[in-house]
Structure 1
Amino acid sequence: MKAASGYGRLVTVFGGSGFVGRYVVRALARRGYRVRVAVRRPDLAGHLQPLGTVGQIMPVQANLRYRDSVDAAVQGADAVVNLVGILSPSGRQTFEAVQAFGARAVAEATKAAGISRLVQMSAIGADANSASVYARTKAAGEKAALSAVPGAVIVRPSIVFGPEDSFFNRFAEMARFSPVLPLIGGGKTLFQPVYVDDVASAIAMAVDGETEEGAVYEIGGPEILSFRDCMETMCEETGQKRVLLPVPFGVAEFGAKLTGWLPGAPLTLDQIELLKTDNVVSNEATAEGRTLAGLDIEPRTLAAVLPTYLYRFTTHGQYDRHKMKTL
């Protein structure tokens, strides 16, 4: 890490109060950058300020649907990072509005402000021809970023895990109340889970200018695991013995049609569509060094990180399962 590589320079981070955002803000602050966190609700971003020194991190109001607020948020910045994304639509927060139109607004505002350094967070699986709206709009966001700022760096992570994640936490919470966990499509989909702090380090390096301009980096962890592997690992860590039930895609889609419109639905049709494609780093990215290894970042494993936050799902406390293993 470069402790003060960005000393005094200003970075605007859109979506900096979210799961990945708080780690990106911290990584940038540690490098000496001043960080302007552009969010819809600055009053809910107070948790970020202790991540830096006094006055180093400043939340400001911005909404990607309103271009004036985006223009104001990037004024005077040396670099811009766009982390805004959603897993399922809600009200006016649609995939198109957030991940396509919103990304284009950020990119065009960055160009208009004369800023040449833009980092756009996308996702492995972004594809303009995908049957998934999520994947198509992620691809549209990438295209918009590179069209407006040709030197923009695209960062595509696989499933991101960490204390606030919506993957392992979600299924561990589900296991608290259900003796059965569904394995959509038989649980064969492959993932390359990547620790959120490693993703943040890659993004901070892009802001530092240590990445190739105009390149797409695919960010995955050290292990390729199936959906079933992930569920077994989660159950092992929490001590929850659950039946892992294979569910064909057709059955899952039928269930999603009945419940997918409900707030907090287990899975939507679009998320099921995503599960039909493996979510791992491509051979091309590996060969060309557009990965964590290519950035000299040693990714952390699930085994090293999951125990630090999934302990809250154990039945008898943080140390009970480990104590039983030694008896």
Structure 2
Amino acid sequence: MTVPDSSRRLVTVFGGSGFLGRYVVRALAQRGYRILVAVRRPDLAGHLQPYGTVGQIKAIQANLRYRWSVDRAVEGADAVVNLVGILAPQGRQSFEAVQAFGPRAIAEAARGAGITRLVHVSAIGADAQSAIGYLRSKGLGERGVLETVPEAVVMRPSTLFGPGDGFFRRFAAMSRLSPVLPLFGSGQTRFQPVFAGDVGEAVARGVDGLARPGTIYELGGPEIMTFREILERVLAETGRRRALLPLPFWLARTMGRVLELLPGAPLTADQVRMLERDNVVSEAAAAEGRTLAGLGIAPTAAEIILPTYLSAYREYGQFTQIRPGAQP
């Protein structure tokens, strides 16, 4: 792969301080890009500085609800990346504001600045007609981006994994405290977990101009797993035995509607509905090369990455095999 000289090029990354953001910023920094990380709280983006050289990465304040701050963030940029997303609404951070209106605002700002290289991260299953609020807003966001900047590239990853993820770690943490783990439905919903580092590389290649303009890519890992298999993998990596308690979807949705009324809700009805849907790369995307492989990236296996951080949830951490009083 030939990477263009990027030492003088500036990339604005919206939402770059989040879980996926660290992988995207690192991939861009390794290429030599100068990076503006546009976030609501620049003071919480300091962890990104070690990924680049002095002055290479700078955090600035921007809020998608205030268009002037979006316009300011893209001034002088050569490319724009949008990673902003939420799993559940909270206060003024609604799906409509963040994932439907926000991407169009970013695209309009980019177009106004003469920028056509725009990479937008969405999600597998995004559909503007979906009855699920999360997926509907993702679909509307994609529509707004591609209508405004037809040359934009959309990346739809499956469930992300990697140090700091919010999916595998959630169930690993639950296994510490609970004798059972919830098996939603029959546990047969399929997922294609993808390493966040591979998605970060895919986004960077989009910024490099190595992705097809105006194309929606679907990014999944090398293995398709059912929800049951995911829980079993988590238990194997954490060295714990826990019962898997079948939880009918109708009951889980009811629980979600109650729990979503709480601050920092651990589960929402929307999230349950998404657990009812397969989350895998489509046959069409695979046939047309709109995947990691189509971008020249070999997907990283979960079995390589999961032990590097799920070991923290074992009884004795990475030293689980060393019992108290035993000699190493």
TM-score (norm 1): 0.96
Change (3 A) 1:196 1:322: farther
Q: How far off its partner does 1:322 sit?
A: 9.4
CA distance in 2, matches of 1:229, 1:120: 30
Partner of 2:17: 17
Deviation by residue 1:228-267 (Cα, 9 ceiling, x = unmatched) = 1101000000011111111111111121222221123331
Q: 2:95 aligned with 1:95, yes or no?
A: yes
Q: Which runs of 5+ in 1 are unaligned?
A: none
Kindly report which structure 2 residues correspond to 1:235-250, keeping only aligned pairs within 5 A, or say none: 235-250=235-250
Q: 2:177 aligned with 1:177, yes or no?
A: yes
Deviation by residue 1:154-184 (Cα, 9 ceiling, x = unmatched) = 0000000010100011111111111111111
Q: How far off its partner does 1:190 sit?
A: 0.5
Deviation by residue 1:126-149 (Cα, 9 ceiling, x = unmatched) = 011211100000000100110110
- How many percent identity over aligned positions? 62
Q: How far off its partner does 1:295 sit?
A: 1.2
Kindly report which structure 2 residues correspond to 1:283-322, keeping only aligned pairs within 5 A, or say none: 283-321=283-321
Q: How far off its partner does 1:4 sit?
A: 6.4
1:100–1:137 Cα contact (<8 Å) kept: yes
Supply the AA of the counterpart residue of 1:177. Answer: L
Deviation by residue 1:75-127 (Cα, 9 ceiling, x = unmatched) = 00000000000000100000000001111110100000100100000000101
Q: Which has the higher mean CA deviation after the structures are superposed, 84-93 or 246-255?
A: 246-255
Partner of 2:275: 275
Partner of 2:253: 253
Partner of 1:41: 41
Which structure 1 residue ranges, 4+ long, deviate > 6 Å from structure 2? none
Q: Which runs of 5+ in 2 are unaligned?
A: 324-328
CA distance in 1, matches of 2:66, 2:37: 16
Supply the AA of the counterpart residue of 1:241. Answer: R
Partner of 1:159: 159
Supply the AA of the counterpart residue of 1:51. Answer: Y
CA distance in 2, matches of 1:17, 1:2: 28
Q: How far off its partner does 1:22 sit?
A: 0.8
1:2–1:31 Cα contact (<8 Å) kept: no
Q: 2:188 aligned with 1:188, yes or no?
A: yes
CA distance in 2, matches of 1:172, 1:82: 29
1:3–1:32 Cα contact (<8 Å) kept: no
Across the two proteins, how many residue pairs are aligned to each other? 323
The SS at the match of 1:186 is coil
Supply the AA of the counterpart residue of 1:299. Answer: P
Q: How far off its partner does 1:3 sit?
A: 6.5
